[in-house]
Structure 1
Amino acid sequence: MKISGHTMGTPEYTVIEAIKLFHDIGIEGAEIVIQDGYCSGISCACSKEELALVKKAAEENRIEISCLTPYNSYFNSLDEQIRTAEIDAILKVIDACEYLGAHFIRIYGGNLQAGDTANLLERRAKLVESMQFLGERAAEKDVTLLIENHFNTMAVSAKETVDLIREIDHPAVRILYDQANLNFTEQEDYKAAIEIQQQYVEYMHVKDLVFKEGVAFNSSEVSHPDESERNVYTRIVGEGIIPWAEILKMVKEYGYDGWLSLEYERRWHPDDIPDASIGMKKSAEYLKKIITEQEKALLSRNNWVIT
């Protein structure tokens, strides 16, 4: 497994500075936000000049661009003008992936506010249609679309995400496993989530949290809950309640050997966690320790069997 930094965690840095930071703290990849107006993101226009600077920085710092992360979500809209605009935006991101040598794009599984039950079948059909079309375009560029376990979408739970992936039925559309999201939306625990969806997982987000006492989850946005709606505090990985050692052991047993992307949520919750140079570094060190210890344990068991 390889560790990637996420520019959600570096709001005080430009993308170029974030890439240098990721190199300096000893991680191998960068997941980069695609959004206008964000310091640590690539603009939605994805101009060749802008991408060339990012590519140069990545090459100089020996950082692989692991994933590009746009914030489009209305792939299930019944308004064809809106849906088409979202699709066109992802086509630009697919082209950006090809230029940067990236192979993954984070995708929201549509936009669905909690409690919204209007025209669900029609909106789901539009989401499936959108993903099938984009899957074809992505496959042409050796890119995989990753539908994330995420609130306010049509893929909140592991089960919902798997059902959606099976309906889309395209090899270039797979799952981004986010156990923290499943935890704070009160969906499956890690054992159930991994058993249900791991055969479709091609990327993982890693973050940590602790629950607020007596507060239920709510969010009026897809990207993140407002401070007034939060039921958790975000934490440095290893300092919260998510059992990452057990999760990594279990996904490894299912054959996962891909990216572990540190979705360090300093952009949204800067009061909870320190600058990425401190907190993301500690998070990466914690993951490396788990990986090393598990590799040693596996080697020890294999040697014992051979003896």
Structure 2
Amino acid sequence: MKFAFSTLGVPGTAVGDVVRLAGEAGCRGVELRAHPEEPVHPGLVAHERRQVVREFAAAGVEVLSVAGYARVAAEGDDDTVYEELYRLIHLAADLGAPFVRVFPGGGEQPRERADAAAARRLGAAAEVAAETGVRVLLENHDSHPAGADVARVVAAVGHPHVGAVWDVMHSWRAGEEPVRTHGLLAPYLGYVQVKDCAGRDDTTPVPLGAGALPLGACVAPLDPDGWFCWEYEKRWYPDAPELPALLAAGRAHVEGLLAAG
């Protein structure tokens, strides 16, 4: 198992501290939240990007993904979304990250219009992603919470450099059974975001295995050699327990679920 965590769980933490935490907790990778309020974002210049690469390499930790906030199904001008996608793709390439995470963000548009916008923009970005060796992954989120929603868009793009991130909480809250979500997303899957929460209507993050989410059912059909990233949403829940003290136990919990089949 390749276990990672998202810097959403340790907001604002310096890169050196992030990689030390990963090493201490036995994590092989980190999903970097690419927001301007974080240490790593598309505004970094070349020497700053090289320094990030050096710090990860020295610790033997991988940059799993650049978690961007481009909303590919959003209403409005295509060029603005294209520019954001390209900046994220080139940041990932410079950091040696194989993936860029993006959101749908379709809002209240009719499904067909939102899907068409997302597929059009992802299709254009796919050519740049292919040139740089990066895959752009659409997360099941907001207007497209179920695996069926994301699979519909990614299938329409039909490009190997566009795939999916499976956020297990959003598909569960949407009422989709984990085995169905996996079946729909498996052909496109880059990695899985594992998490746990207090309840279907209470998304307060809790330690893995301590909440209501059926994480065992989500993990059961997955490739045990794949990437599992704990997206602990401390950034949005400041009263939640601190992630560093939970990381090693969270990794062990997922390992146990995989071993149990």
TM-score of the superposed pair, with normalisation by structure 2 = 0.92
Unmatched runs of 5 consecutive residues or more in structure 1: 216-230, 298-307
- Aligned partner of 2:257 in structure 1 is 290
- Aligned partner of 1:88 in structure 2 is 83
Aligned letter for 2:127? Answer: E
- Aligned partner of 1:171 in structure 2 is 160
Select 2:127's aligned residue among 112, 121, 136. 136
- Aligned partner of 1:191 in structure 2 is 179
Select 1:245's aligned residue among 216, 223, 233. 216
Aligned partners of 1:15 and 1:32 also within 8 Å: no
Answering whether residue 95 of structure 2 is matched by residue 100 of structure 1, we say yes
Deviation at 1:187, TM superposition (A): 2.8
Measured in 2, the distance between the counterparts of 1:203 and 1:264 equals 15
Deviation at 1:289, TM superposition (A): 3.0
Answering whether residue 204 of structure 2 is matched by residue 204 of structure 1, we say no
Aligned letter for 2:106? Answer: L
Measured in 2, the distance between the counterparts of 1:22 and 1:77 equals 34
CA gap 1:112/1:57 in 2 versus in 1, 3 angstroms: same
Aligned partners of 1:20 and 1:57 also within 8 Å: no
Answering whether residue 248 of structure 2 is matched by residue 281 of structure 1, we say yes
Select 2:73's aligned residue among 52, 56, 76. 76
- Aligned partner of 2:4 in structure 1 is 4
Deviation at 1:108, TM superposition (A): 0.8
Measured in 2, the distance between the counterparts of 1:61 and 1:202 equals 23
Secondary structure, counterpart of 1:242 in structure 2: coil
Aligned letter for 1:19? Answer: V
Deviation at 1:234, TM superposition (A): 1.4
Deviation at 1:12, TM superposition (A): 5.2
CA gap 1:12/1:85 in 2 versus in 1, 3 angstroms: closer
CA gap 1:167/1:12 in 2 versus in 1, 3 angstroms: closer
Q: Give the number of aligned pairs.
A: 261
Aligned partners of 1:7 and 1:15 also within 8 Å: no
TM-score of the superposed pair, with normalisation by structure 1 = 0.79
Deviation at 1:77, TM superposition (A): 4.3
Deviations 1:106-136 (A, max 9, x none): 0112x223xx236x54443222111001011
Deviation at 1:203, TM superposition (A): 0.9
Measured in 2, the distance between the counterparts of 1:137 and 1:78 equals 22
- Aligned partner of 1:224 in structure 2 is none
- Aligned partner of 1:112 in structure 2 is 106
Deviations 1:46-95 (A, max 9, x none): 3212212211110111001110011121x334532xx3122212212212
Unmatched runs of 5 consecutive residues or more in structure 2: none
Measured in 2, the distance between the counterparts of 1:129 and 1:87 equals 10
Measured in 1, the distance between the counterparts of 2:169 and 2:75 equals 30
1:10-25 to structure 2, matched below 5 A, reads 10-11=10-11, 13-25=13-25
Alpha carbon RMSD of aligned pairs, Å? 2.0
Q: Which has the higher Rg, Structure 1 or Structure 2? A: 1
- Aligned partner of 1:260 in structure 2 is 228
Secondary structure, counterpart of 2:236 in structure 1: coil
Identical residues among aligned pairs (%): 21
Measured in 1, the distance between the counterparts of 2:10 and 2:248 equals 12
